[in-house]
Each structure stands twice: as C-alpha cells, then as structure tokens.
Amino acid sequence: MRLNGMIEHRLYSIERDKEDHLVLCTPKRATWYRLQGYEVFDFTESLDMEPEYFSVDNSQIWCYNVYNN
C-alpha cells in the first residue's frame, strides 16, 4: 500500500532451515519469501501494531537473527 508516495513496511518473522530472522519489509516481499518456501509470520498484524512507511523499499534490511547457528 502506498500513502502519499510512501511504501508500507511490516515486521515479519522469516524462518527457514532452523534460521529465524525478524525482517522489516513490504507485504509484497513477505509474499515472495512465502512463495520461496519460508515460514512467514506478520508481527505487525498479530500485535495490532501500526506499519512503518518509508519513501523507498527497504525490503532487504534484515533486522535480527534470532538463532546464532
């Protein structure tokens, strides 16, 4: 969703092969991860949080690696 030229980003948990990352990305990028076989959980929706809006797509920013394997 775009709001005055801004791009919606949400906080997701992206997990695959026992690696779990918290990612701030667009819903479109989260869908891409899901189609690639990752488990995707939307924290923004689950915790009733407001999404973040940026003027650029910051989908490639990995916020946190939950496991240090």
H or E element: which one contains 10?
A: strand 6-16
Return the higher-pLDDT residue of 9 and 3.
9
**What pTM does this model have?**
0.73
Question: For 10-63, how does the pLDDT look when each residue is reduced to its tens digit (9 = 90+)?
Answer: 999 999 888 888 888 899 999 999 999 999 999 988 888 888 888 766 655 544
Instruction: Compute the distance between CA of residue 40 and CA of residue 34 in angstroms, rounded to an integer.
Output: 6
- Taking every pair of C-alpha atoms in the chain, what is the biggest distance, in angstroms? 41
How do the domains of the chain map onto residue ranges? 2-65
For tokens 């869908």, name the residue.
31
